[in-house]
Amino acid sequence: MHIVNAMFSKGLGGIEQALVDYSEALKIQGHKVSVIISPKAKIKAALLPIGVNIIEVKNFAAWDFFAKAYIKKIMKQLAPDAVIAHGNRAISLTGRSNNFPIIGVTHNYSIKHLIGLDAILATTNDLRANVISGGQPENSVYKLPNMVRAVSGSSQSSDNSDKSPRPITIGTMGRFVKKKGFDVFIRAIADLKARGLEFKALIGGGGEEEENLKKLASDLGIGESLEFIGWVNNKAQFFDNIDIFCLPSLHEPFGIILLEAFAYKKPVVAADSEGPSEIISNNEDALLVPKGDAKSMADAILRLCDDTELAKKISQNAFAKAEGYDIKHFAASLSDVLSKILKNKKI
């Protein structure tokens, strides 16, 4: 098959990582892959080693008629078997065609632009239910979770569960937007400091809330204990440098970073937002706490510090769970789903 992946986001978040993952998975299965991105897409560097055909298209918005016309011309030349559109702008600009199916992916709960596409790939059961209740025919919605490069490289990652739990390093990362709940993480860290725990905390990422988060840390008097390390380019190094990973999201449709923490054998404390609640078996492969509850997050972190056997058990179970999300398994599942979609399109 020849598959086009289209995505016009410019940052380095979950949707951008998914684009890379989809492209690599398709290449693993031997398919021809073309990728349409913005010239300013930072993810281009990660696409280059995969060996896909990269096409850069300038665009100003989802309504950009010139970009639409140019993409239509490109599609005529490429003659793909299917287009996977990542994000609302990609759906709008690639248009809808009778010649090949347009497939959307539920990277979040903004599903309006997805309804009516030839097929939708839903990353969780909850998202699948949402798009069906939104009017998408059930037989055109396929559950296909995100993936992780689990286990080939990560199996060699250091296992810190047998190390002394104090002083520990607690880490988190992501885009600095309100829904990610990093203010809750900072308040949990402040709570732990007030309880006398010896620790270091690392927070990786960047975004619109950065100054507010730094001010909160300063106001709470934890500036010396919490380090803002910027965007994390080397995730292996980040995970090797921490003992516990926290995912404080108030709203998390899936959570690729959760799988990455699992793959690096790190005990995880996560807020019970949408994706983590579906992925995690509480007390077995991670600890779930009520979202927005800094005290509960602090309690869970302290529990892992005090109970090294629990920390070791959940990190080992998490690693085993990550194996099920490995890109090689996903590649086969994605290929099977695409074959079904194309078959249904021809009927």
Pairs from 92-100 (Cβ < 8 Å, separation ≥ 24): 92/62, 92/63, 92/68, 93/6, 93/8, 93/57, 93/59, 93/62, 93/64, 93/67, 93/68, 94/4, 94/6, 94/36, 95/68, 95/71, 100/75, 100/345
**pLDDT tens digit string along 274-312?**
999 999 999 999 999 999 999 999 999 999 999 999 999
* All domains of the chain in start order, with CATH: 2-147+326-346 (3.40.50.2000), 151-323 (3.40.50.2000)
CA distance 226 to 345: 53
pLDDT of the residue at 173: 95
Does the pLDDT at position 159 exceed 70?
no
**pLDDT tens digit string along 188-231?**
999 999 999 999 999 999 999 999 999 999 999 998 899 999 99
HSE at residue 233, side-chain half, CA atoms within 13 A, is 4
Confidence bin at 62 (pLDDT 50/70/90) = confident
Q: Name the 3-class secondary structure at 24.
A: helix
Confidence bin at 12 (pLDDT 50/70/90) = confident
Smallest CA-to-CA distance from 117 within 130, 134, 101, 98 is with 101
Query: Taking the model in full, what pTM does it have?
Result: 0.85
- Evaluated on CA atoms 247, 253, 254, 255, the torsion sign reads negative
CA distance 298 to 269: 9
Strand partners, 269: 246, 287
